[in-house]
């Protein structure tokens, strides 16, 4: 029954554009290439966590979700703001309050210290500039492996680069993409039910 409900829920997360923020025409065109809006990505992420075991074992007072974004990149800022709005609208996951932390990629010189102090469970990575991806994403993901911070994104190409979970669309249906090696290295433990419903990288 649980799996059936999951599939039913996924059907309700079909493609829809995010709302609530003004943007340039260029950014609007960029957003349109996304399969799922940030709001629907967050809804799907909340459902995924019902199939992930490790965070439930930690007896957390709250679940810290960090948003990595690029202040100088309008698309990144817009996606981040939309994701913030989504979390504020549904600020608990299975009864546990979600604590939100915003991290500008331009200010991550002390990211190691931040990770060690903030007890971040999940890091959502917004779209980044190509130069930023090339110069910094590898280092960021290395720290995520070190501190067992699980990563997820709506930028599906990042899954091939080492992000654990991608949230997108295939044949007009919501789809979860999992980089299994990255997920294990970042401390995730998915149920076999979720793995059967996902595309494994």
Domains and CATH numbers, the chain: 2-200 (3.40.50.2300)
Q: Quick check: 127 and 168 in contact, CB under 8 A?
A: no
40 φ/ψ angles, rounded to the nearest 5 degrees: -75, -30
Render pLDDT for 96-144 as a digit per residue (tens, 0 to 9): 999 999 999 998 888 999 999 999 999 999 999 999 999 999 999 999 9
Q: Which of 119, 111, 122 is nearest to 42 (CA)?
A: 122
Q: Which pair of structure tokens corresponds to residue 154?
A: 């709506």
Is the model more confident about 186 or about 25?
A: 186
Residues 6+ apart with CB under 8 A from 33: none
What is the model's pLDDT at position 33? 58
Is the model more confident about 38 or about 12?
A: 38
- d(Cα 78, Cα 38) in Å, to the nearest integer? 10
DSSP class per residue in 152-195: EES-GGGGGGT-SEEEEEETTEEEEEE-HHHHHHTT--B-HHHH
Please, which residues bridge with residue 123 across strands?
Answer: 66, 151
Render pLDDT for 15-64 as a digit per residue (tens, 0 to 9): 333 334 445 555 455 555 556 888 899 999 999 999 998 888 888 899 99
């Amino acid at each position: 029954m649980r799996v059936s409900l999951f599939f039913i829920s996924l059907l309700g997360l079909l493609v829809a554009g995010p709302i609530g923020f003004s943007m340039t025409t260029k950014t609007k065109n960029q957003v349109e290439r996304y399969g799922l809006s940030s709001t629907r990505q967050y809804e799907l992420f909340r459902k995924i966590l019902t199939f992930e075991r490790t965070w439930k074992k930690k007896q957390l007072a709250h679940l810290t979700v960090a948003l990595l974004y690029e202040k100088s990149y309008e698309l990144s800022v817009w996606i981040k703001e939309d994701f913030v709005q989504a979390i504020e609208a549904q600020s608990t996951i299975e009864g546990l309050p979600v604590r939100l932390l915003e991290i500008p990629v331009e200010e991550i010189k002390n990211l190691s210290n931040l990770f060690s102090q903030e007890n971040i469970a999940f890091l959502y990575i917004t779209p980044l500039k190509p130069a930023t991806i090339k110069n910094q994403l590898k280092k960021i993901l290395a720290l995520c492996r070190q501190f067992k911070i699980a990563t997820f994104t709506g930028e599906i190409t990042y899954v091939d680069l080492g992000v654990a979970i991608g949230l997108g669309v295939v044949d007009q249906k919501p789809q979860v993409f999992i980089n299994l090696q990255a997920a294990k290295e970042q401390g995730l433990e998915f149920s076999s039910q979720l793995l059967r419903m996902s595309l494994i990288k």
